[in-house]
């Protein structure tokens, strides 16, 4: 059976003819000589020759088949590799094309809304139309982001705290209040953004971050405080589902994160806040027990009311929590605001223009703003008041949602 597989008909005929001729010759010679011993040897030699011939032919056939199959397999593997490379290149090309299209689309949208905003400054009657277009853009982008990450996201939150040259007990109180939250510990991340503090503060910041399991982000080579840029760097760094923008002097009630995130779950297209409670000088010290929160809260006074009616100036809504995508799609805080003032108000104003629901959760939870001197941490000079007025004027004139 084996020989039948490896030899074709032509080869078999050749072997049979050679064997037959050989037998005839040997038989004739033996008949002539009449030597029985020679006959036996001759027959043995003939059989051996035939066997060697068959085996050599079989070996050559097997070798040829192996080489042919090897070359065929090699060719198939090469073609498969080439096809995979083509498919991979095509897929990479498609992904790159989609990314470029999205970038181009977003760039066009930002350009469009900025142009609409410019028109709105000249003609106030256009504001409603501008807001309508921007709301539609904002909502479509947000829905796309939310739907894309719906299944794989955890309910985690990053608390972003921006600071510069401030490492006293108020920062530690703030970090401590976050770690005392009733929300699952493993879902809480703290990001402390050190925006160009003097080198002597670095060691203390790192020590506090280690103590309260916070991530430390150092920003070097910045000469002037810019809260917008500071917070935007934190927003860019964050990789959680929710963001809570805070300050170095905020103490949170123990149920703050739980209540805030529960409210956001009801409506992803929203931002939550609680009214400002200002502590008095000396009421909170390094030795204050934060577990006596209710007593501390009872000694505070309510900050100035938020101004909802006048869209030109929203007052003091700086501690806010929402989905990360809402902050990122709008472009974060406007970095044109310098030194101090209005960057929070501008962001809330843009949220409102985009149709984001702004929800007050003060009836369920609260936070305390620890007392400190006015404009602490800001380089005070003759131009500070002038810059604050410029910030206010810039915010009033800006009509675009995106930055």
pLDDT at position 176 is: 96
Q: Which tens digit of pLDDT belongs to each residue from 37-48?
A: 555 555 666 666
% of the chain residues with pLDDT over 70: 63
Q: Is residue 15 domain-shared with residue 136, that is, in the same domain?
A: no
247: nearest Cα among 270, 230, 222: 230
Q: What is the CATH number of the domain that holds 345?
A: 3.90.550.10
Report yes or no on 112 lying in a domain. no
Q: Which tens digit of pLDDT belongs to each residue from 165-212?
A: 988 899 999 999 999 999 999 999 999 999 999 999 999 999 999 999
Q: Is residue 155 domain-shared with residue 298, that is, in the same domain?
A: yes
**137 to 173, 251, 285, 353, 399: CA distances (angstroms):** 40, 36, 47, 11, 15
Report yes or no on 291 lying in a domain. yes
Mean pLDDT, the chain, as a whole number?
A: 77
Q: Which of 25, 47, 80 is the last residue of a domain?
A: 80
The token pair at 278 is: 């200002």
Whether 400 has a pLDDT exceeding 50, the answer reads yes
Whether 87 has a pLDDT exceeding 50, the answer reads yes
Report yes or no on 360 lying in a domain. yes
Q: Which tens digit of pLDDT belongs to each residue from 104-130?
A: 655 655 555 554 444 443 444 444 545
pLDDT band at 15 (very low <50, low <70, confident <90, very high): low
d(CA 325, CA 342): 22
pLDDT band at 54 (very low <50, low <70, confident <90, very high): low
Report yes or no on 206 lying in a domain. yes
Whether 316 has a pLDDT exceeding 60, the answer reads no
Mean per-residue pLDDT, 241-248 = 95
155: nearest Cα among 21, 274, 300, 261: 261
Q: Is residue 253 domain-shared with residue 310, that is, in the same domain?
A: yes
331, 217 contact by CB (below 8 A): no
Residues comprising the chain, all counted: 403
Q: Which of 26, 49, 80 is the last residue of a domain?
A: 80
Q: Is residue 58 domain-shared with residue 203, that is, in the same domain?
A: no
| ∠ CA 274-284-361, rounded to 5° | 10
pLDDT at position 375 is: 58
365 versus 354: the higher-pLDDT residue is 365
Domain count, the chain: 2
Q: Is residue 62 domain-shared with residue 137, that is, in the same domain?
A: no
Q: Is residue 41 domain-shared with residue 145, that is, in the same domain?
A: no
Q: Is residue 165 domain-shared with residue 286, that is, in the same domain?
A: yes
Report yes or no on 163 lying in a domain. yes
Q: Is residue 13 domain-shared with residue 157, that is, in the same domain?
A: no
Q: Is residue 175 domain-shared with residue 307, that is, in the same domain?
A: yes
pLDDT at position 126 is: 47
Domain range enclosing 37: 2-80
Report yes or no on 342 lying in a domain. yes
pLDDT band at 2 (very low <50, low <70, confident <90, very high): very low
Q: Which of 16, 51, 80 is the last residue of a domain?
A: 80
Neighbours of 269 (CB within 10 A): 19
pLDDT at position 157 is: 97
Q: Is residue 339 domain-shared with residue 253, that is, in the same domain?
A: yes
Whether 51 has a pLDDT exceeding 80, the answer reads no
pLDDT band at 3 (very low <50, low <70, confident <90, very high): very low
Q: Is residue 65 domain-shared with residue 178, that is, in the same domain?
A: no
E strand map for 270-319: 270-273, 276-278, 301-302
């Amino acid at each position: 059976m084996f020989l039948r597989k490896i030899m074709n008909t032509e080869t078999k005929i050749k072997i049979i003819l050679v064997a037959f001729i050989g037998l005839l010759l040997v038989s004739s010679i033996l008949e002539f000589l009449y030597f029985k011993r020679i006959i036996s040897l001759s027959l043995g030699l003939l059989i051996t020759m035939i066997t060697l011939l068959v085996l050599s032919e079989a070996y050559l056939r097997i070798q040829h088949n192996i080489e042919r199959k090897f070359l065929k397999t090699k060719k198939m593997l090469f073609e498969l590799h080439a096809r995979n490379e083509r498919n991979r290149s095509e897929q990479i090309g498609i992904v790159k094309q989609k990314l470029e299209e999205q970038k181009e689309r977003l760039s066009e949208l930002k350009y469009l809304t900025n142009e609409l905003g410019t028109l709105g400054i000249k003609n106030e009657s256009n504001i409603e139309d501008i807001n309508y277009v921007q709301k539609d853009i904002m909502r479509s982008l947000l829905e796309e982001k939310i739907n894309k990450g719906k299944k794989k996201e955890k309910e985690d939150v990053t608390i972003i705290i921006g600071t510069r040259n401030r490492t006293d007990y108020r920062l530690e109180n703030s970090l401590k209040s976050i770690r005392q939250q009733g929300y699952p510990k493993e879902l809480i991340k703290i990001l402390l953004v050190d925006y160009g503090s003097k080198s002597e503060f670095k060691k203390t910041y790192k020590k506090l971050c280690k103590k309260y399991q916070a991530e430390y982000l150092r920003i070097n080579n910045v000469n002037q405080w810019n809260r917008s840029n500071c917070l935007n760097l934190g927003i860019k760094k964050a990789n959680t589902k929710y963001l809570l923008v805070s300050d170095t002097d905020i103490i949170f009630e123990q149920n703050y994160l739980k209540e805030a995130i529960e409210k956001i779950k009801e409506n992803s297209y929203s931002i939550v806040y609680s009214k400002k409670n200002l502590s008095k000088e000396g009421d909170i010290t390094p030795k204050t027990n934060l577990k006596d929160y209710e007593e501390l809260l009872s000694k505070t006074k309510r900050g100035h009311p938020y101004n909802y009616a006048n869209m030109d100036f929203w007052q003091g809504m700086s501690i806010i929590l929402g989905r990360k995508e809402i902050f990122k799609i709008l472009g974060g805080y406007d970095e044109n605001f310098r030194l101090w003032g209005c960057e929070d108000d501008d962001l809330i104003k843009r949220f409102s223009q985009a149709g984001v629901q702004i929800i007050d959760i003060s009836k369920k939870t609260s936070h305390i703003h620890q007392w400190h001197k006015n404009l602490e941490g800001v380089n005070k000079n003759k131009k500070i008041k002038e810059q604050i007025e410029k910030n206010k004027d810039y915010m009033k004139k800006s009509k675009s949602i995106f930055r």
